[in-house]
Chains A and B, each alone.
Chain A
């Protein structure tokens, strides 16, 4: 059974204070490690997909990295508009959906 654990559950940072969110996973046959952003009252918004250990992807202040057991979402010099819940998910097959973690609720204070 695929499992995804995200930590911390919640994180409060000052504007400009860089940090990382963790996603640990176990899956048989990884078909992708996904990061999503979710704002209150909205659906998850796709950020990144990583497929192999050592892969990195960047988007604005966010950078996602992948190892064989975990992924990190690094946020550099965050702004208040980066406040959201960040979800990690793994895909273990072709069409049978993703397994999600419970998310990290990130608050960036001005």
Chain B
């Protein structure tokens, strides 16, 4: 998972609090993603960014906002955290080539909302 760095690794929030998960990649990839992983649900796409300055909703965007600050950084913000947002969050970056895509994941951020 070298190349994609997420912070923080662990966080506990109270319902209604806000926070931002940070992600940075040093592989000069254009596209970046935020996924959440829940038991029995697998990995689900929250938001993605095909390039600097663009973002699009994925499968489960409600309750989240994102910012693609520059090519390296893609942050995920929870404006008013809810217990349903307790999950493990993974940032990923992807290289899209003629031979296809390869996606690299960060180590994850464990978020608990109480």
Q: Which residues of A contact B (CB under 8 A)?
A: 31-32, 34, 36, 41-46, 49, 51, 87, 89, 91, 94-103
Contacts and interface: CB of A to CB of B under 8 A. Distances in A.
Contacts of B114: none
A99 B101 CA distance: 13
* The 7 residue pairs across chains A and B that have the minimum distance between CB atoms: A43-B105, A95-B50, A100-B43, A102-B42, A97-B45, A32-B100, A95-B31
Interface string B51-90: 1000010100000000000000000000000000000001
Contacts of A100: 42-44
Contact of B102 (A43, A46, A99): A46
A91 B101 CA distance: 8
Contacts, number: 70
Contacts of A94: 50, 96, 101
Nearest to A32: B100
Contacts of A46: 102-105
Contacts of B101: 31-32, 49, 91, 94, 98
Contacts of B40: 102
Given A97-B45, A102-B42, A103-B42, A42 B108 contact: yes
Interface residues of B, number: 31
Given A44-B105, A87-B43, A95 B99 contact: no
Nearest to B32: A95
Contacts of B103: 34, 46, 98
